[in-house]
Chains A and B, each alone.
Chain A
């Protein structure tokens, strides 16, 4: 019995100690990829660009360093598919590329409009290290490689700054949306819903942005800014949405988190700024004689943020009138966006999906022709309710005292 037990223990120890360690990777054997970008070169091959974090220059503190050297290094290589670009890059990097902390995938305008994004995502979904909650962003007016090479001043890792910028824009502007790999795939496979991907562009000369001097200045010459929403059809980029059209689209898809809009009051343009605090959009779809009828109802709540004409804001009737104006404004935006989309013949709103949910059987028939035939001709009814809940720390503006 005693021998058996020690034999057992021996097997156990040899199992754990001697045999283990296949998947062991020390941290200083890894190159953490913070962002990955896809582009096309002249020959039509994919170019993969990898933004790799230099931890020592990011964390600083310990060695007293940081700030002196670039916090990232960018590598890129061409290949027939994405995995091949990785293979070519890993020859240049002294460490294993590691993707579990990649939180940004950049797709260049060129890939999106020429080759389409349909076949790009399998690797990201299949690979163990990639997380499908990674954000996806398009470039506009620049190559993906340039975009990844620009150093940023606030977040030391540029990929993080892009994501945070986008998040900020989403939460305050209502013209952009964060979208993850999951979302993109889900939109690509459902024919009743086309993806909307936010785009970034570089302000200034991209080459300068790769130097440390750029971010040492108080006003960096080169910056990255969110710039429009890319509209897709059959996986290809066909159009950009900007400003009110973009916001109208997001209103209709229930994606606006907070935004502000200006309305005309007492014949003065942009006299009152209304800030949306929360909103809820519901889409109901019906089929009447194979003609889709979509009704959108939007409910927005908010407050008055800025007033430049005198008006009696203590009076509920005034507020009710302003509410009506706001609702009209929102409705116009939405209708404009829908009109735009119907011309593009691309259902970015998920109306098709709504029909799929309410009429699963009929949907199978109209599915393939949805974008080209049914969507552009569908009846769309928009109902908007807007509420003003409060008016801030003052009731009436001092402008009303000025008038008296």
Chain B
């Protein structure tokens, strides 16, 4: 474990940046006009999941999950599980990276090879992550300010332009509650809320005298970002209409593109690009950091920073190889039952709950 500490505010910022990087995607659009509702339901599920992760942290506040898995399940089984988790994190990182590169490619760099775009992010991420969680957290604090200004100004512009047509959000229950719940639990709960499992690798670094404060910070961050995500989705739908939102890979881009004020404040694509890059950077770095620090802990490697180079390279290669096209990629993430039942549900829901039950009985 690296000797580093972050404070609660920094944890909050990292959580929010992590969650908000999905702001670009059409989250929960399968629920049509009720997409925002399915995000909120997903968020409530996310809060519950967070509490599971948090309880586990409470039992072992000073050690990495890779270590308490070994305590809970025994040395061999625990190591295997920890290793599987590291693989899962690498997969997550690759997925985020692929998504990021594809978005850039579609948005602004149609001819540039995916490898170059991904490699650019990997290089910068490796540079930052190598400096440790403290630097990452501080960088996050600075860019959180940027994100805040972007969000506030674009919201103001959208409202000023009069783009919001509330009628577009009606009828709310076009698809029925069943579909909304299904979307919430199969999509929005997993992405982005379930992915917070990466933060179990970061909790031990949080400098906190009372673990309840960590719970508060976490719940607040998830609640805040869930509301922002739901709100953004509602704005997207109210500006563009359900049909366009459900047909675009990045509805936020179309929303931002429709801002036109005074013949000059228009063409604000750069807003979108900044949100994309900042969000992508932090999500990717946090996952990569989680994977690296987990590996270092599992294999008892002193210097975490050295691990980042090979891990970054592996993730880069995997991100290129994981799907042959963007539709295939999004299908695998969002709609494939195989991925849902073999990775998302076990790694994000089942195993943590199981660990918690074991921990509960062991520590009784």
Interface positions of A (Cβ within 8 A of B): 8, 11-12, 15-16, 19-20, 22-23, 125, 128, 131-133, 182, 185-186, 189-190, 353, 356-358, 360
Contacts and interface: CB of A to CB of B under 8 A. Distances in A.
A23 B112 contact: yes
B257 A360 contact: no
B173 to A, nearest CB: 7
A8 B309 CA distance: 10
A20 B120 CA distance: 10
A353 B173 CA distance: 15
B64 interface: no
B346 interface: no
B240 interface: yes
Contact of B109 (A16, A23, A356, A358): A23
A182 B254 CA distance: 10
B111 A132 contact: no
A189 B111 contact: no
Main secondary structure of the interface of A (DSSP, over half): helix
Nearest to A353: B167
Interface string B108-122: 111111001001100
A282 to B, nearest CB: 10
Nearest to A11: B123
Interface string B152-186: 00000000000000010011011000000000000
B241 interface: yes
Contact of B244 (A128, A185, A353, A358): A185
A132 B109 contact: no
Interface string B251-294: 00010011010000001000000000000000000000000000
13 contacts: A12-B123, A15-B120, A15-B123, A22-B111, A22-B116, A132-B244, A132-B257, A133-B258, A182-B240, A182-B258, A185-B244, A186-B244, A189-B243
A156 B247 CA distance: 37
A357 B108 contact: no
Give the 7 A-B residue pairs with the shortest CB-CB distance, closest first: A360-B171, A357-B170, A22-B112, A22-B111, A23-B109, A186-B241, A23-B111
A200 B34 CA distance: 40
Contacts of B119: 15
B171 to A, nearest CB: 4
B107 interface: yes
Contacts of B241: 182, 186
B179 to A, nearest CB: 13
A23 to B, nearest CB: 5
A356 B111 contact: no
Nearest to A12: B123
A23 B106 CA distance: 12
Interface in B40-98: none
A189 B247 CA distance: 12
A357 B241 CA distance: 13
Nearest to A180: B258
Given A15-B123, A182-B258, A357-B167, A20 B116 contact: yes
From A185, A189, A360, residue with most partner B Cβ within 10 Å: A360
A171 to B, nearest CB: 14
A357 B171 contact: yes
Given A22-B112, A128-B110, A133-B260, A360 B174 contact: yes
A125 B244 CA distance: 9
Contacts of A182: 240-241, 244, 254, 258
Nearest to A350: B167
B109 A22 contact: yes
Given A182-B240, A186-B243, A189-B243, A23 B108 contact: yes
Given A128-B106, A132-B257, 5 more contacts: A20-B116, A22-B113, A23-B110, A23-B111, A132-B258
Contact of A132 (B123, B127, B254): B254
A267 B173 CA distance: 54
Contacts of B106: 128
Nearest to B108: A23
Contacts of A15: 116, 119-120, 123
A229 B257 CA distance: 27
Nearest to A100: B267
Contacts of B243: 185-186, 189-190
A360 B106 CA distance: 35
Nearest to B243: A189
Contacts of A189: 243
Contacts of A190: 243
A8 B107 CA distance: 29
Nearest to A19: B116
Contacts of A132: 244, 254, 257-258
A8 B128 CA distance: 13
B30 to A, nearest CB: 16
